Amino acid sequence: MTVRVAAIQMCSGTAPERNAAVLADLVRDAAGQGATYVQTPEMTGALQRDRAALRAALRGDDDDVIVQTARKLSAELGIHLHIGSTAIGLSDGKIANRGFLFGPHGEKICHYDKIHMFDVDLDNGESWRESAAYTPGETARLADLPFGKLGFAICYDVRFPELFRRQAVAGAEIMTVPAAFTRQTGEAHWEILLRARAIENGFFVVAAAQGGVHEDGRETFGHSIIVDPWGRILAEAGPSGAAVITADLDIAAVAGARGKIPNLKNAREFSVAPLDVGARTSGGAIA
């Protein structure tokens, strides 16, 4: 089966309502190009460094403007619409970095909360502490859709290959990685990580990204990308600004790639034996 998918690149500002309007235009553009699955980037709703302003704008699932817009668009256009993520207020006062998948009748199929938190100090002086504001997810998701099995990750999750492997073993044929990579880390690792995840698991990867200099001052890498199970780039956007990229995915290529490189089938359990340093230094033999 072949499906046309789209990855939407954005440069989200601090106002969810404005971002929702941009989102609507880009999704309609993607659907007009024949895409029946459309993915938006991480933090579609807003990129906002000011934590107080972010919290003031937070809403629950049903009241969030991005969620409401996505419900209407998916039903209007008859597509599967995947909001890569947006900030959602939780009942305990914390925040979820939450992605949503909507079906062609506007129904919510599932949501996914980003599992791995980006806590890091970069060489350029930037410091990020996602765990200071966001509650990490605990559950991976796998959506069995008419055109294939869809797995979920968000941004920093791409650095944890076990998340991808477990979903591949569970049957994922398309892996989604909406993101807001910084320019610095994106230049170094974005493409190679996504291609590696596709190759080592034999599935398609669709990664919609934020790109450009944002209203809150941060800069993201862009280069939204779609990769096939052999690691080949099917479509890629530029470094900044709004864009729509599309590709036709032949889902049979997943079985073909896994048949040629059957590493999922050949994987074995193993243990790691700690080295006895004392035995070496005392003249003992190391097997």
Active site residues: 42, 114, 155
275 phi-psi bin (left φ>0, alpha ψ -120 to 50, beta other): beta
Residue 156 CA neighbour count, 13 Å, CB half: 17
Helix H or strand E segment including 233? strand 233-236
* Residue in 56, 11, 60 with CA at minimum distance from that of residue 209: 11
Query: What are the CB-based long-range contacts (under 8 Å, 24+) for 199-202?
Result: 199/229, 199/230, 199/231, 199/261, 200/161, 200/164, 200/165, 200/263, 201/164, 201/165, 201/168, 201/172, 201/175, 201/229, 201/264, 202/168, 202/229, 202/254, 202/257, 202/258, 202/261, 202/263, 202/264
Bridge partner residues of 220 (DSSP): 182, 212
| Cα distance between residue 23 and residue 122, in whole Å | 30
Sequential DSSP letters for 112-158: EE--S--EEE-TTS-EEEGGGTBPPP----EEEETTEEEEE--GGGG
| Cα distance between residue 145 and residue 236, in whole Å | 24
| Cα distance between residue 18 and residue 119, in whole Å | 29
The single-letter code of the amino acid at 270 is F
Tell me the two tokens of residue 73. 């668009």
